[in-house]
Copies of this chain bind each other. A is one copy, B any other.
Amino acid sequence: MATGSAQLATLHRVAGVRLGSAMAGIKKPNHRDTLLIELDPASSVAALFTRNAFCAAPVQVAKQHLAAAAPRYLLVNTGNANAGTGELGLQAAQASCDAVAALAAVASSEVLPFSTGVIGEHLAVDKLTAALPSAIADLSEEGWLTAASTIMTTDTRPKAASRQFQLDGSTVTITGICKGSGMIKPNMATMLGYVATDAQIAAPLLQSLLREAAEGSFNRITVDSDTSTNDAVVLVASGRAGVAVSADNVAEFAAELNALMVELAQSIIRDGEGASKFVAVTVSGAATIDEALAGAYAVAESPLVKTALAASDPNWGRILAAVGRAGIEALAVDKISVTLNGVTIVEQGGRAASYTEAAGQQAMAAEDIAIGIDLGRGSVSETVWTCDLTYEYVRINAEYRT
Contact = CB atoms under 8 A, between A and B. Distances in A.
Interface in A85-128: 85-87, 89, 118-120
A397 interface: yes
B226 A310 contact: no
Interface stretch (A138-146, A164-172, A322-330): A322-330
Given A53-B325, A349-B86, A393 B320 contact: no
Interface in A149-188: 182-183, 185, 187
A227 B301 CA distance: 13
A374 interface: no
A69 to B, nearest CB: 26
Contacts of A187: 325
A53 B303 contact: no
A384 to B, nearest CB: 16
A52 interface: yes
A251 interface: no
Contact of A182 (B54, B304, B324): B304
A172 B397 CA distance: 49
A9 interface: no
B303 A351 contact: no
Nearest to A230: B321
A272 to B, nearest CB: 12
Interface in A292-309: 301-304, 307-308
A115 to B, nearest CB: 12
A89 B185 CA distance: 37
Interface in A12-50: none
Interface stretch (A195-203, A258-266, A311-319): A311-319
A401 to B, nearest CB: 6
Contacts of A318: 119, 183, 226
A301 B320 CA distance: 20
A255 interface: no
B226 A325 contact: yes
A316 B226 contact: no
A395 B224 CA distance: 18
A229 interface: yes
A281 B371 CA distance: 34
A223 to B, nearest CB: 9
Given A226-B302, A317-B81, A351-B84, A307 B120 contact: no
Given A53-B328, A84-B350, A349-B86, A224 B304 contact: yes
Nearest to A397: B307
A398 interface: yes
Interface of A: 51-55, 81, 83-87, 89, 118-120, 182-183, 185, 187, 224-229, 301-304, 307-308, 310-311, 313, 315-318, 320-325, 328, 331, 333-334, 346, 348-351, 389-391, 393-395, 397-402
